[in-house]
A and B are shown apart, each in its own frame.
Chain A
Amino acid sequence: MKERIHLHRAYKRLAAAPPISTTIFLLLVALCDVLIAVFYKPLLDGFVSQVGQLAALAGVPTAVTHWRFLPVWVTEMPVLDAPASFPSYRLSLITFVLGVLVVVIVPRLRPVPKVVRVYVAFLSLLMTASAIFFLFFPHRFPYDVVDFSLLYMGTQFGMWLLMPIVMGVALSSLPSPVPEKLLVIVATVAYGAVFGAIRYASFLFLLQKLTVLSMAAMFFALGPLIDFVYMVSIYAIYVNIVALRLRDRPEVWRWSF
């Protein structure tokens, strides 16, 4: 016997959200964004300084450089410069051979889950493409550590601005208090800042140890792609909490029949 019998889920819904609370929530989300945009300078300076300290712990010396060229309100972007090594012909060749081998062998490793195989193959393809570039046009590689840092910081700052919007939109329809939803957004951005700092320091370390050969893989396979994973994880945990809470509150639900 079931302990409780719920009404059918087919036409279950929530009451329409009061327009006032939705509007207030979305305005507060916009305010979050405005605050990040207005206080970008201390935020970015603080972030870069933390990354510098983390990198120093890993034995990577860094120096802060300020880029002043941006046409928008962010007129200055602090970025870190650090020593990085350039791949030798031999390393590029080894990477190419290994990359091709991984791309050929990994898809055939049946015991490994296919999602993992596809992700590893994607990572290896990026490394192989990079190795080919360094085998044939080593002097045309367009980035140094400062360029990469600028790219990273631009993406990181873009994420800080977009995260509240994406999370705000996703959370807006959920039946929970506005302050709670705002807290989830702030927690996501805060997690993003901590994770972003550790990742930036790790990238600087890897650029020194693995050479700039790994730059493309870092950016495309371990960059914004991973940011979305933790953002969705936080959303999923929160929906789980809301779902458990609503289970004991049948009065919240409406049925269209």
Chain B
Amino acid sequence: MVVLILKLYVILVVLVMSVYAIRHYWLTVNRLRGEQRLYYQDLVDDDLPRITVLIPMHNEELVARSSIEAILRCEYPRELMQIIPINDHSDDRTGEILDELAAEHEIVTPLHRHDGLRGKPAALNDALEISRSNVIINFDADYLPNRGALRDLALSFKDPEVGAVMGRVVPINTEANLLTRLLDLERSGGYQVDQQARHNLKLMPQYGGTVGAYRRDLVQAFGGFDPTVLAEDTDLTYRLYISGWKIVYANRVECYEEVPETWQVRSRQIRRWSRGHNSVMFRHFLPLLKSPYLNRREKLDGMLLLLIYLVPVFLLTGIVDSILLFFMGEMQIIESVFVFLFVASYNSFGNFAPFYQIGTASLLDGVSHRVRLLPFLMFYFLLNIWTISSGFFMAVLDKLQSRTAEWEKTQRFRKEDQA
């Protein structure tokens, strides 16, 4: 009986991996060969909405000035613009830098937070209270938007069905080392192919918490961002879809970010994402299936997206399961083929984007030589499996013990001359 259960579990893992591999193949072919659904960038309208740009910052002295200056260089009427950098419990020079910028530019109105809960959701909630506009654009502290980004993001709200919009994230420090090059490949697969194909197919493009915008009144109607959630972006994505709003993806709105340059920092970042995403999964799985505003295709896509950080846990337990079967002498000829299928599947999905998706994204991006690093992702996925699984188990413990996860800041690497 035990052996049968273990064998059935291996088959289940293979099936789950195959579902994801097929989904990503469909998205890949659609992006490479299908009709592309355009964004709203060609709308000609002088009546631009009033916007507020929010930038949460905790000890961001290395990047604060350059990021805000990049936003100030964006082409958007100054009289319709407010920038609120949020100094969230910083104990370095961040507050000082923000005050200097406020003195130089009238539209920069920093919010200094020294008490109350620390973390991005709580900081955003406070900033929403003092915002003077309904269209809110979010950037993380290290982001450098292109000049047209604000206009392009704000335009989408001319469509009354749109609740949020997401732009494309492009690493700026790609050439730093092997890790940053691998992350560039991963980001390329995730945005150029995955998000755009989901936008094309009217599935569920995701709001990613930065290089994105949303309607303030909607977020406040939801009760604001939940300060106990680490993935406030995924939380908002599902709240919007479940309530009948749409999220659009703007592939042309490119914004440069700094990706982690050390494996240590990357591990912590991805563990935090996994912990946050999985807690959102516990919260929204059933409401998603019950939502009257979504069709079956959207629900299926939404479900697969919600479960995405559970896949590495499946893989890890699948490996343990296979090892147990091996020592029990139950790894016979047919099972060995299953093991290959299983390994092949999880290799093709180990990094959130199968190799053919990343290869296609590189082709579209005109990246030629870097794509040869693709096989190195195979080793990177072992690390991902471990860190994502530990994030999942933390999320389970958070749920069981009703404990609140603490916000963890991602270390920055920017140097003066890189801004």
Determine whether A40 belongs to the interface, using a CB cutoff of 8 Å to chain B.
no
Closest residue on chain A to residue B380 by CB atoms: A115
Determine whether B304 belongs to the interface, using a CB cutoff of 8 Å to chain A.
no
Closest residue on chain B to residue A150 by CB atoms: B333
List B contacts of A173 (CB < 8 A).
Answer: 28-29, 32-33, 356, 360
The answer on a CB contact under 8 Å between A219 and B326 is yes
Looking at the assembled complex, report how far the CB atom of A124 sits from the nearest CB atom of chain B, in whole angstroms. Answer: 13
The answer on a CB contact under 8 Å between A233 and B375 is yes
Closest residue on chain B to residue A172 by CB atoms: B29
Determine whether A237 belongs to the interface, using a CB cutoff of 8 Å to chain B.
yes
The answer on a CB contact under 8 Å between A8 and B33 is no
List A contacts of B355 (CB < 8 A).
Answer: 170, 232, 235-236
The answer on a CB contact under 8 Å between B339 and A155 is yes
* A-B pairs, 7 with minimum CB distance: A142-B329, A114-B263, A236-B374, A158-B337, A256-B36, A10-B252, A170-B356
Determine whether B331 belongs to the interface, using a CB cutoff of 8 Å to chain A.
yes
Closest residue on chain B to residue A159 by CB atoms: B340
Closest residue on chain A to residue B342 by CB atoms: A224
The answer on a CB contact under 8 Å between A239 and B322 is no
Looking at the assembled complex, report how far the CB atom of A162 sits from the nearest CB atom of chain B, in whole angstroms. Answer: 6
Given contacts A122-B382, A232-B347, 9 further A-B contacts (CB under 8 A): A10-B251, A14-B32, A14-B33, A115-B379, A142-B327, A142-B329, A155-B337, A224-B344, A233-B374
The answer on a CB contact under 8 Å between A243 and B368 is yes
Looking at the assembled complex, report how far the CB atom of A200 sits from the nearest CB atom of chain B, in whole angstroms. Answer: 14
List B contacts of A219 (CB < 8 A).
Answer: 326, 331
Determine whether B133 belongs to the interface, using a CB cutoff of 8 Å to chain A.
no
The answer on a CB contact under 8 Å between A257 and B42 is yes
Looking at the assembled complex, report how far the CB atom of A144 sits from the nearest CB atom of chain B, in whole angstroms. Answer: 11
Determine whether A20 belongs to the interface, using a CB cutoff of 8 Å to chain B.
no
The answer on a CB contact under 8 Å between A220 and B373 is no
The answer on a CB contact under 8 Å between B333 and A114 is no
Q: Please, how many angstroms separate the alpha-carbon atoms of A239 and B372 in the complex?
A: 8
The answer on a CB contact under 8 Å between A228 and B378 is yes
Of the candidates B29, B323, B337, B359, the one having the most CB atoms from chain A within 10 angstroms of its own CB is B359
Determine whether A23 belongs to the interface, using a CB cutoff of 8 Å to chain B.
no
Determine whether A73 belongs to the interface, using a CB cutoff of 8 Å to chain B.
no
The answer on a CB contact under 8 Å between A216 and B25 is no
**Which of B370-395 touch A at CB < 8 Å?**
371-380, 382-383, 386
Q: Please, how many angstroms separate the alpha-carbon atoms of A243 and B185 in the complex?
A: 15
Given A166-B348, A243-B366, A247-B368: A119 touches B333 (CB 8 Å cut-off): no
Determine whether A240 belongs to the interface, using a CB cutoff of 8 Å to chain B.
yes
List B contacts of A240 (CB < 8 A).
Answer: 368-369, 371-372
The answer on a CB contact under 8 Å between A228 and B347 is yes
The answer on a CB contact under 8 Å between A236 and B359 is yes
The answer on a CB contact under 8 Å between B371 and A236 is yes
Determine whether B129 belongs to the interface, using a CB cutoff of 8 Å to chain A.
no
Q: Please, how many angstroms separate the alpha-carbon atoms of A166 and B336 in the complex?
A: 18
Per-residue B-contact encoding for A1-20, CB less than 8 Å = 1, 0 else: 00000101111111111000
**Which of A122-155 touch B at CB < 8 Å?**
122, 126, 129, 133, 142-143, 150-152, 154-155
Looking at the assembled complex, report how far the CB atom of B203 sits from the nearest CB atom of chain A, in whole angstroms. Answer: 17
**Which of A9-55 touch B at CB < 8 Å?**
9-17
Given A155-B337, A247-B366: A216 touches B347 (CB 8 Å cut-off): no
Per-residue A-contact encoding for B258-269, CB less than 8 Å = 1, 0 else: 000001100100
Q: Please, how many angstroms separate the alpha-carbon atoms of A223 and B362 in the complex?
A: 29
